[in-house]
A and B are shown apart, each in its own frame.
Chain A
Amino acid sequence: MREMKRRILFGSLRRCKSRAVVSVLAIALGASLIVAAVNLRGSIRGKLAEELRNYGANLLLVPETGPFLRETDLLILEDKRVKDRLIGYVPFLHRVASIRGKDTVIAGTGLVAIKKLSPWWQVDGRWPQGKSEALAGFNAASKLGLRVGDSVTVSQAKSRLTFSIAGIVRTGGAEEHQLFVDLEKLQLLTGLPGLLSSVLVSSRAENGLDQTVAFLQREWRGAEVRTLLQVARAEEAVLSRLQLFLTLIGLLVLFASGLSVFATMATAALERKVEMALMRALGAEKKEIAWIFASEAAAIGGIGGLLGSVLGLIFAQVIGLSVFRALVLPSAMSLPTGIAIGLGIALLASLSVVRKSATIAPAVILKGE
């Protein structure tokens, strides 16, 4: 009995070999993209997270009580117990001052240190090279009508300081509303020498971010240590977008492969309607006719899914190595995912053909005129 089923199945597949091969390849391509996404999700997440954590500050120190931190406490960050884990740090004093009659947030900071910690900042002009030069945020510059090379006077109470605008910076964040000047100069202007509003710290993730946090909480009295959420969010966003991209492309390809399977099955049904009518005339039940087409679809989907799993693993390695410079550990879900997708798409695409073929009217097809 099984032999006869096998003969019917393979006999019919052999007859429409080229169409079946195209359908198998279409399904394999769609399944491979989904399998690649599944593998990348598992393996690249950790790698990407580490890279993102190493990129930019990931800790923020703010006063726990009172308005300021003491600048002398920055020596804690030079302690050998923590120094090796740190990529760098940037102290900040944020004050509101008047520029050209408008209140503006002035950020006093170490301009050399911030350049090192924020390499993605896009500066039009150049980075400040002396204490009398400033960097204007893009929105602040627009609001105040500042251009590179302009001279700008910052006033607070009765104090004034003049800076030359060396560059205009785009960061994609709140920094674009600020004017960046030398920390010491702002401390003098505002009468707050040795005081800070916050410190941004970049700690290496692979050496234990948690250990750095624990050390600073223990050693820096009066400071609250916060882990920056935006890093984690950026991580999530990059991964989600990558996965969404692969999944959408995969779904589009699967839709196209579904159409290909549908076309293959519909053509086969048309070509084989006499054969199906004969089988019905010989006493085949509807489910037996449905089985023939469903088996063909399952064979196409199963082979396509299997091939897609293998291709998906290869794609994942190629993407892992070329984009993330990391090998991707094969996921145990690769094979089940690929085969399930292949079978699902093929059976779904052939559903209407299967139903239509099962209800064929033998008397009409075999009328013999």
Chain B
Amino acid sequence: MQLKMNKYQQAKNYLTEKTFSIWLRLVGLTLISASFAETNKPIVISTIFVCVIVIIKGRWIIDEFMGLKHAAPLNRKIVKCYFYGMTTIVGLTVAYSQTSFQSI
């Protein structure tokens, strides 16, 4: 019984461990964003939603996986600015393309 409890505790500890929970959340967000590819008519709001998902995923990878959360602030700021900036440019261009395409 004690052994069983220990194994249960070990499994619980593993599942609630930060790196693993971040990985699970990343997988979940990826599946949600992939579902937008199946929509027949893309709309601007779905583009914004996908870009927000990308930003959240990027933030978790930079902070938790890369370990930049507790690293030199300049390094963290450069990588985050690049990623957030690039995602914003992508989002704005795709949204602009969608609105102009729909108006044709």
Say if A and B assemble together.
no
Using a CB–CB cutoff of 8 Å, the interface residues on chain B facing chain A are none
